[in-house]
Amino acid sequence: MNESDPRYTIAPGAEEARDETGRDEAAREPMPIVYLNEIERHYQQGESMLHILAGANLALWPGQSVALVAPSGAGKSTLLHIAGLLEHPDDGEVYLDGVATSGLSDAERTQIRRIEIGFVYQSHRLLPEFTALENVMLPQMIRGLARKEAARRAGELLAYLGLRDRVMHRPSELSGGEQQRVALARAVANAPRVLLADEPTGNLDPQTAEHVFSALTQLVRATRVAMLIATHNLELAGRMDRRVTIRDRQIVELE
């Protein structure tokens, strides 16, 4: 794949946006896009407290892929939700471009999520009444893109992920792995600066997983997105730039 490949135009206009925001400038500076600082997360379980994260720190840098590998129940989804501003930590701060997000209003957080963050849920969460194509079009249209252009790009993206013949299917008419790929297409449709994906290759056969993984790797290189992927696939994790795990409620670098 080369730079002129139309697949890089996942979100045409993103290049200009990058220039305006000085993203490439920022990439050369010692500033992570996302910085989780001393994150604490616990759940009340009856009388006792279930501590999931305590003093967890993690920096995500532009153009870098990070694998989050940890056993079931360790807190991967919890961590991704906090990094994606979907959940508030009980303590600690999530910085985006060095700006603390805890003081932002819900509307501001929603706006940041729409523009800056692509999120692939573990459970896909596609909108059931819409087709695959429409699911990928919607975030683009919410962001102001014309319907026709959103449809064109959604179709391109889905075709690239091997779903050319499935664009008119509703989620209930798609396999788990197909839904997963639609969710991924939706997450990257607006060319986010941060991509958080919760086991995006979990339901895929090895060959499709490989294809999706290489698409993600190329996306990181082409758009300098900062990527954090929860995965149980150690082989794919081994090919990412960094590997982290959750140990004793903290985030620890592997190797």
Ligand X SMILES: Nc1ncnc2c1ncn2[C@@H]1O[C@H](COP(=O)(O)OP(=O)(O)OP(=O)(O)O)[C@@H](O)[C@H]1O
Beta-strand pair 226-230/99-100: unpaired
- Taking a C-beta distance cutoff of 8 angstroms, is the pair 167, 155 a contact? yes
Closest distance of CB 28 from Mg ion, Å = 34
Rounded least distance, CB 196 to ligand X, Å: 12
Cα 231 from Cα 69, distance rounded (Å)? 6
**Gap between the Cα atoms of 202 and 193, Å rounded:** 23
Q: Which is nearer to Mg ion, 76 or 166 (CB)?
A: 76
52 binding partner (options Mg ion, ligand X, none; Cβ < 5 to 8 Å by kind): ligand X
- Smallest distance, ligand X to C-beta of residue 200, A: 12
Q: How far apart are CA 93 and CA 87, in angstroms?
A: 12
**Which partner, Mg ion, ligand X, none, binds residue 206 by CB below 5 to 8 Å per kind?**
none
String marking each residue 45-74 x if it binds ligand X according to CB under 6 A: -----x-x-----------------x-xxx
Residue number with CB closer to ligand X (77 or 223) = 77
For ligand X, what does the binding mask look like between residues 18 and 47, x meaning CB under 6 A?
Answer: -------------------------x----
Taking the C-alpha atoms of residue 101 and residue 35, their distance in angstroms, rounded to an integer, is 10
Phi and psi (nearest 5°) for 38?
A: 50, 50
